[in-house]
């Protein structure tokens, strides 16, 4: 039970809620999505099909969902957290059992009207569930080992399922998102220090395991790591993507080569140019000015979320908002670092820009929750 | 459960504090991303821009058109012709099999060619044009163009290919081109990117080969934009190369084809030098071959045929073949001895029909002997004993020096394949190459152009030219390169005694125009066109004492390979000579009977610039000559383009 429920008289009701929506955030999200439409139009060679039109429809649907969710009081969503978490675990198991194999990974599940990627949904439900857990947990128990172990298990179960697909990027995002919420809730520093130490040890172990019978990660993941460390030793194979991406990005210069003038993307040198590597096209065509503007938009979205959370006295709302902001941050930071050659190539799309239904819808639903927290915050 | 407000405030504080920590680290990470962006897009933008350009831009070479070769009259003897070929783009064709079967109904294409094209299409990307057939006629091209709608993906293209309009008649001079091979690339040190073009045509023999760098020109290029799989998107710019330079040879096409025709049926060679500038007017070698076969890629059957022919059609006998010069070398021996003063013009030597030198008997061709004989008569009647005697007096080293002065035993610098250097032997040569001492018998043999002495018809023609003029005539094959006149081959005076030369020339005059001369049968009657010459018959076998005792076998009774070589050198006209000619007829028998008539016909043709009037010939041969002229007029050279002559 949160403080909020006893102070509902200050919370807006009915359609008046519209006025309390975090409108700057809506504007920022729309601006980023518009940048995405523009780039999808460009990579299709100046055509709204096959990518821009469906993406716009999904954005429209997503915005509708966002507003719908924002209208519903945040405590309802807190009560739904367990159901959402349980549901997403079932979906992940469903993928494991009935999922479709695409591009060497088992990530998709066909719902009839759309193909869903449950791992995307999980990114939000885990954050939601951990936030609800700490909302329920009395403050003084936060750092006790048993009460720390529980959320760790809640995080690790879906992470393991996602890793099995295999989807290293999403697994990493789940882990980081969940851990961030735990950190924000006030779990003691020492736990994190221990985990980081163990993590370093684990990385060493993974590298040691290479080529042995107890090899811990798949060969293709090793190859991605190799390619990341030195893309030039396989310029036509695995290193080709990242090399071409860097060329596209770097050749943009200050102001870029102009809309639809990017040779790297127009002549198909760029891989996955409408999904994971769409940022390179933007950087190529609009240069440093365009790329840093997009980065600034993302920064503002994160800042607006943090600002909304800091002023929010409801524990669940604050933790959820910050957790979603962190997940969103991880999305674009990992994607950008990846195409700039600062991180290994793991399949993480650029949020709201990359073509893809699940990610777009899930993100807008997540921002619906953020809006709901904002609208229903105790005053 | 109701949480006390104090608890809530504390929890909110914790969250806010930690949110600031998380937020700060997020902003720090974004700062790193921004810095990285700035570093790539601003600081290193130029490097990446360059890499992007390299990615998208391909440079394709444009082969230049090869320089033409003309004869001295301005007729093209190595020409470029339009080569129509039909190419197919797989992705435009749809059903490849169906389109090809339609194509074969219109144009005649060999099934092997079709299978080869199909295989290549499978190997290449679908947008790469693959050549299906080459060297189509204009009719075929017209038919294909007319049926374009029914033949998707099929295009008729035009390129250039080399053609030799005179076929075999100039093959040994002009040579031929062929596709550059791995062997060529390994052998020549040439960085020209053109050689990397598959099937680029380079000169393989003759002037085409030796003048390669003049004729080839330099590559142009076009820059094209390609996408990641190599499809051409558009042409960015284009810079044409420099076409190869045209070359004009000194060869007179009409004289050359005449000489070639005159040699038909023989294994022989003729060289005609114009004494004015040393121009080579004709270099004929028979039999010859069709150079056009090589341009298209010669079949194994044709190639084996050419290689196994015992008359060696691929050998340019006139410049590449070396033969014992026989009696034509006597001028060299005589000049060496006269210049050295070991004998005077009037001094006689007794010829009993043989000479004994340290127990070895050397025979004169005339077994009865010539009796007392002087320089003039010894040349005219080709007495051997006279030369045995004077050679022993003057010595081999001075003879060899004279031979080299007259152009024998040295390699003449001509843009032709395998120009022979021949051999003017001396003591030093024998000890260094053979590791043996020079013997007096070697000198005796050399005095009549036998033994170690070897000369090519080209060298004998140069010798004749130098005797006729007293000047250092150097043969010249290239007259103009890109319109620039090449240096004349007429050099300074040789510094020989003019009186001696005059006596030698007078003897050569009598060889042809004196009733007792060996070449009298091949004399020219017309005043002002008369020729002087010297015959030679060189043995290719040893005549044993037993055979000599039983009577030397006549040439006609010997197998072809063992018959004597027939040689004749001549110049004309007598006063102020203009042309020098050397003829070799391999295993042709006597020089005066087999070689002299050829020399006469060729030198007359050269002087008249066409067929000479019959009254230039002695009356008894006129019918035969008229018949021969008719035959040559109607002849079409092997491999010549019939339509180009019409």
DSSP assignment, residue B629?
H
Q: Which of A181, A185, A247 to mutate to test the interface with B (most CBs of B within 10 A)?
A: A247
Strand partners, B567: B536, B584
Q: Which residues of A touch B233 (CB under 8 A)?
A: 267
Q: How far apart are CA B276 and CA B465, in angstroms?
A: 10
CA distance B97 to chain A (A): 31
Q: How far apart are CA B71 and CA A32, in angstroms?
A: 76
**Residue in B48, B56, B227 closest to A250 by CB:** B48
CA distance B25 to chain A (A): 11
CA distance B250 to chain A (A): 55
For residue B297, the SS3 value is: coil
User: Cβ of B18 under 8 Å from any chain A Cβ?
Assistant: yes
* 8 A C-beta contact, residue A346 and residue B56: no
CATH of domain B253-645: 3.40.710.10
The predicted structure's pLDDT at residue B56:
78
How far, CA to CA in Å, does B111 sit from each of B99, B107, B133, B135, B407?
14, 12, 11, 16, 56
Q: How far apart are CA B640 and CA B646, in angstroms?
A: 11
pLDDT digits (tens, 9 = 90+) for B176-200: 998 888 777 777 777 777 777 777 8
**Residue in B20, B41, B49 closest to A288 by CB:** B41
* 8 A C-beta contact, residue A371 and residue A320: no
For residue B368, the SS3 value is: coil
The predicted structure's pLDDT at residue B644:
41
Helix-helix angle A118-136:A145-164, to 10 degrees: 170
Q: Which residues of B touch A310 (CB under 8 A)?
A: 15-16, 19-20
What lies within 8 Å, CB to CB, of B181 at 6+ separation is none
Query: How confident is the model over B549-556, as a mean pLDDT?
Result: 78
The predicted structure's pLDDT at residue B255:
93
pLDDT digits (tens, 9 = 90+) for B234-269: 777 888 888 889 999 999 999 999 999 999 888 999
Average pLDDT, chain A: 85
Q: Which residues of B touch A288 (CB under 8 A)?
A: 37-38, 41-42
The predicted structure's pLDDT at residue B101:
85
The predicted structure's pLDDT at residue B201:
86
Range of weakest confidence among B67-71, B295-299, B485-489, B616-620? B295-299
Q: Do A267 and B36 touch (CB under 8 A)?
A: no
Residue predicted with more confidence, A268 or B89: B89
Q: How far apart are CA A261 and CA A273, in angstroms?
A: 14
Chain A residue with the nearest C-alpha to that of B225: A267
User: Cβ of B142 under 8 Å from any chain A Cβ?
Assistant: no
Range of weakest confidence among A97-101, B79-83, B133-137, B518-522? A97-101
Q: For every residue of chain A, which 3-state class applies, written as one string?
A: CCHHHHHHHHCCCHHHHHHHCCHHHHHHHHHHHHHHHHHHHHHCCCCCCCCHHHHHHHHHHHHHHHHHHHHCCHHHHHHHHHHHHHHHHHHHHHHHHHCEEECCEEEEEECCCCEECHHHHHHHHHHHHHHHHHHHCCHHHCCCHHHHHHHHHHHHHHHHHHHHCCCHHHHHHHHHHHHHHHHHHCCCHHHHHHHHHHHHHHHHHHHHHCCCCCCCCCHHHHHHHHHHHCHHHCCCCHHHHHHHHHHHHHHCCCCCCCCCCCHHHHCCCCCCCCCCCHHHHHHHHHHHHHHHHHHHHHHHHHHHHHHHHHCCCCHHHHHHHHHHHHHHHHHHHHHHHHHCCCCCCCCCCCCCCCCCHHHHHHHHHHHHHHHHHHHCCCC
Residue predicted with more confidence, B12 or B396: B396
CA distance A315 to chain B (A): 7
- How many residues are given for chain B? 646
* 8 A C-beta contact, residue A289 and residue A47: no
The predicted structure's pLDDT at residue B539:
85
Q: Which residues of A touch B226 (CB under 8 A)?
A: 267
Number of CB pairs < 8 Å for A and B?
Answer: 149
Q: Do A247 and B48 touch (CB under 8 A)?
A: yes
Identify the band that residue B1 occupies on the pLDDT scale cut at 50, 70 and 90: very low
Fold held by B60-249: Penicillin-binding protein 2a (Domain 2) (3.90.1310)
**Residue in A267, A318, A336 closest to B33 by CB:** A336
CA distance A75 to chain B (A): 15
Which residues 213-252 on chain B approach chain A with CB closer than 8 angstroms?
225-229, 233
The predicted structure's pLDDT at residue B22:
92
Identify the band that residue B643 occupies on the pLDDT scale cut at 50, 70 and 90: very low
CA distance A115 to chain B (A): 31
pLDDT digits (tens, 9 = 90+) for A264-274: 877 777 777 88
Q: How far apart are CA A52 and CA A58, in angstroms?
A: 10
CA B5 to chain centroid, in Å, comes to: 109
Question: How do B129-136 and B76-89 pair as beta strands?
Answer: antiparallel
Return phi, psi of residue B181, to 5°: -115, 165
Q: Do B3 and A1 touch (CB under 8 A)?
A: yes
Chain A residue with the nearest C-alpha to that of B228: A269
Domain segments of chain B as ranges: 60-249, 253-645
Q: Do A288 and B5 touch (CB under 8 A)?
A: no
User: Cβ of B56 under 8 Å from any chain A Cβ?
Assistant: yes
CB atoms within 10 A of CB B525: 12
pLDDT digits (tens, 9 = 90+) for B324-376: 999 999 999 999 999 998 998 889 999 998 999 888 889 888 888 888 999 99
Q: Which residues of A touch B229 (CB under 8 A)?
A: 268
**Residue in A139, A263, A298 closest to B7 by CB:** A139
Query: How confident is the model over A114-132, as a mean pLDDT?
Result: 87
Percentage of residues in chain B with pLDDT exceeding 70?
A: 98
Q: Do B33 and A340 touch (CB under 8 A)?
A: yes
Tokens of A39: 């780039």
Residue predicted with more confidence, A221 or B385: B385
- How many residues are given for chain A? 379
Query: How confident is the model over A299-305, as a mean pLDDT?
Result: 95
Identify the band that residue B53 occupies on the pLDDT scale cut at 50, 70 and 90: confident
Q: Do A139 and B34 touch (CB under 8 A)?
A: no
Which residues 96-125 on chain B approach chain A with CB closer than 8 angstroms?
none
Chain B residue with the nearest C-alpha to that of A142: B11
Q: Do B51 and A252 touch (CB under 8 A)?
A: no
Query: How confident is the model over A123-140, as a mean pLDDT?
Result: 91
Q: How far apart are CA A247 and CA A283, in angstroms?
A: 10
Task: Inform me whether the pLDDT recorded for A104 exceeds 60.
Answer: no
Catalytic center residues of B: 327
Q: Which residues of A touch B8 (CB under 8 A)?
A: 3, 313, 315
First vs last C-alpha separation in chain A: 17
Task: Inform me whether the pLDDT recorded for A7 exceeds 60.
Answer: no
Chain B residue with the nearest C-alpha to that of A297: B30
How far, CA to CA in Å, does B382 sit from each of A58, B29, B351, B442?
111, 107, 12, 19
Chain B residue with the nearest C-alpha to that of A267: B227
Tokens of B39: 């570093």
Range of weakest confidence among B130-134, B312-316, B536-540? B130-134
Q: Do A315 and B12 touch (CB under 8 A)?
A: yes
Sign, Cα dihedral of A85, A87, A92, A96: positive
Task: Inform me whether the pLDDT recorded for B606 exceeds 70.
Answer: yes
ipTM score of the complex? 0.88
Task: Inform me whether the pLDDT recorded for A17 exceeds 80.
Answer: yes
pLDDT digits (tens, 9 = 90+) for B431-443: 999 888 999 989 9
CA distance A249 to chain B (A): 7
Q: How far apart are CA B283 and CA B281, in angstroms?
A: 7
pLDDT digits (tens, 9 = 90+) for B562-572: 888 999 999 98
Q: How far apart are CA A240 and CA A237, in angstroms?
A: 5
The predicted structure's pLDDT at residue B87:
83
pLDDT digits (tens, 9 = 90+) for A22-73: 999 999 999 999 999 999 999 888 888 888 999 999 999 999 999 999 999 9
């Amino acid at each position: 039970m949160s403080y909020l429920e006893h102070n509902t008289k200050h919370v807006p009701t009915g359609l008046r809620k519209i006025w309390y929506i975090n409108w700057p955030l809506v504007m920022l999200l729309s601006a980023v999505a518009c940048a995405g439409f523009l780039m999808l139009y460009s990579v299709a060679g100046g055509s709204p099909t096959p990518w821009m039109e469906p993406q716009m429809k999904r954005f429209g649907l997503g915005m509708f969902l966002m507003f719908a969710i924002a209208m519903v009081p945040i405590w309802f969503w807190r009560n739904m957290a367990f159901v959402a978490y349980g549901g997403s675990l079932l979906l992940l198991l469903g993928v494991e059992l009935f999922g479709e194999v695409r591009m060497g990974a088992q990530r998709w599940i066909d719902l009839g009207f759309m193909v869903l990627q449950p791992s995307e949904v999980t990114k939000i439900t885990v954050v939601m569930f951990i936030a609800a857990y700490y909302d329920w947990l009395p403050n003084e128990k936060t750092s006790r080992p048993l009460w720390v172990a529980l959320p760790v298990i809640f995080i690790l179960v879906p992470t393991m399922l996602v890793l099995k697909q295999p989807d290293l990027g999403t697994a990493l995002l789940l882990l980081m998102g969940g851990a961030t919420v735990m950190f924000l809730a006030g779990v003691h520093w020492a736990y994190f220090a221990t985990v980081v130490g163990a993590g370093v040890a684990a990385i060493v172990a993974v590298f040691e395991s290479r080529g042995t019978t107890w090899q811990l990660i798949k060969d293709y993941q090793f190859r991605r790591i190799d390619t990341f460390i030195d893309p030039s030793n396989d310029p036509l194979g695995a290193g080709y993507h990242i090399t071409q991406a860097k060329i596209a990005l770097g050749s943009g210069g200050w102001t870029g080569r102009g809309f639809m003038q990017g040779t790297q993307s127009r002549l198909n040198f760029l891989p996955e140019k409408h999904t994971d590597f769409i940022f390179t096209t933007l950087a190529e065509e609009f240069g440093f000015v365009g790329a840093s503007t997009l980065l600034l938009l993302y920064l503002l979205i994160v800042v607006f979320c943090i600002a909304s959370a800091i002023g929010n006295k409801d524990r669940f709302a604050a933790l959820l908002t910050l957790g979603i902001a962190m997940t969103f941050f991880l999305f674009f930071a990992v994607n950008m670092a990846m195409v700039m050659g600062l991180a290994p190539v793991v399949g993480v799309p650029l949020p709201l820009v990359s073509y893809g239904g699940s990610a777009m819808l899930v993100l807008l639903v997540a921002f619906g929750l953020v809006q709901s927290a904002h609208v229903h915050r105790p005053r | 459960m109701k949480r006390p407000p104090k608890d809530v405030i504390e929890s909110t504080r914790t969250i806010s504090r930690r949110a600031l920590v998380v937020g700060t680290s997020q902003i720090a990470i974004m700062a790193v991303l921004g810095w990285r962006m700035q570093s790539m897009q601003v600081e290193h933008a130029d490097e990446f821009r360059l890499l992007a350009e390299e990615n998208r831009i391909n440079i394709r070479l444009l082969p230049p058109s090869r320089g033409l070769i003309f004869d001295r009259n301005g007729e093209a003897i190595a020409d470029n012709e339009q080569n129509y070929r039909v190419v197919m783009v797989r992705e435009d064709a749809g059903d490849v099999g169906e389109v090809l079967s339609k194509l074969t109904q219109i144009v005649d294409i060999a099934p092997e060619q079709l299978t080869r094209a199909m295989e290549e299409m499978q190997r290449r990307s679908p947008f790469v044009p693959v050549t299906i057939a080459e060297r189509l006629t204009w009719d075929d091209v017209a038919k294909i163009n007319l049926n374009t709608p029914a033949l998707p993906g099929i295009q008729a293209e035009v390129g250039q290919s080399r053609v030799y309009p005179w076929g075999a008649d100039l093959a040994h001079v002009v040579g031929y081109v062929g596709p550059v091979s791995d062997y060529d690339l390994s052998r020549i040190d040439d960085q020209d990117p053109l050689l990397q073009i598959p099937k680029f045509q380079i000169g393989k023999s003759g002037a085409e080969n030796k003048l390669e760098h003049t004729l080839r020109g330099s590559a142009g290029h076009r820059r094209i934009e390609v996408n990641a799989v190599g499809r051409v998107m558009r042409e960015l710019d284009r810079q044409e190369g420099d076409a190869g330079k045209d070359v004009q040879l000194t060869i007179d096409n009409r004289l050359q084809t005449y000489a070639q025709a005159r040699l038909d049926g023989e294994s022989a060679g003729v060289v005609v030098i114009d004494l004015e500038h040393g121009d080579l007017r004709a270099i004929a070698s028979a039999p010859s071959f069709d150079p056009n076969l090589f341009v298209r890629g010669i079949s194994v059957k044709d190639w084996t045929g050419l290689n196994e022919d015992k008359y060696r059609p691929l050998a340019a006998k006139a410049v590449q073949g070396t033969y014992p010069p026989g009696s034509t070398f006597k001028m060299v021996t005589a000049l060496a001895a006269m210049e050295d003063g070991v004998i005077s013009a009037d001094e006689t030597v007794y010829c009993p029909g043989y000479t004994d030198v340290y127990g070895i008997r050397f025979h004169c061709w005339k077994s009865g002997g010539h009796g007392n004989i002087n320089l003039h008569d010894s040349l005219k009647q080709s007495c051997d004993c006279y030369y045995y005697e004077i050679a022993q007096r003057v010595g081999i080293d001075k003879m060899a020096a004279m031979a080299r002065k007259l152009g024998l035993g040295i390699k003449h610098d001509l843009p032709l394949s395998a120009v022979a250097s021949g051999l003017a032997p001396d003591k030093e040569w024998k000890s260094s190459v053979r590791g043996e001492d020079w013997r007096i018998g070697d000198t005796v043999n050399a005095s009549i152009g036998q033994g170690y002495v070897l000369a090519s018809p080209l060298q004998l023609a140069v010798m004749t030219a130098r005797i006729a003029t007293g000047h250092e005539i150097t043969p010249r094959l290239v007259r103009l390169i890109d319109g620039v006149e090449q240096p004349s081959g007429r050099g300074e005076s040789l510094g020989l005694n003019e009186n001696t030369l005059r006596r030698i020339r007078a003897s050569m005059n009598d060889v042809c125009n004196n009733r007792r001369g060996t070449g009298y049968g091949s004399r020219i009657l017309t005043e002002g066109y008369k020729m002087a010459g010297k015959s030679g018959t060189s043995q290719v076998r040893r005549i044993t004492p037993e055979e000599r005792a039983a009577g030397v076998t006549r040439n006609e009774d010997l197998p072809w390979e063992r018959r004597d070589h027939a040689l004749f050198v001549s110049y004309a006209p007598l006063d102020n000579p203009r042309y020098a000619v050397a003829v070799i007829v391999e295993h042709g028998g006597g020089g005066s009977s087999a070689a002299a008539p050829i020399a006469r016909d060729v030198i007359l043709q050269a002087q008249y610039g066409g067929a000479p009037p019959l009254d230039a010939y002695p009356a008894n041969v006129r019918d035969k000559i008229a018949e021969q002229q008719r035959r040559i007029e109607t002849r079409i050279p092997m491999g010549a383009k019939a339509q180009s002559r019409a």
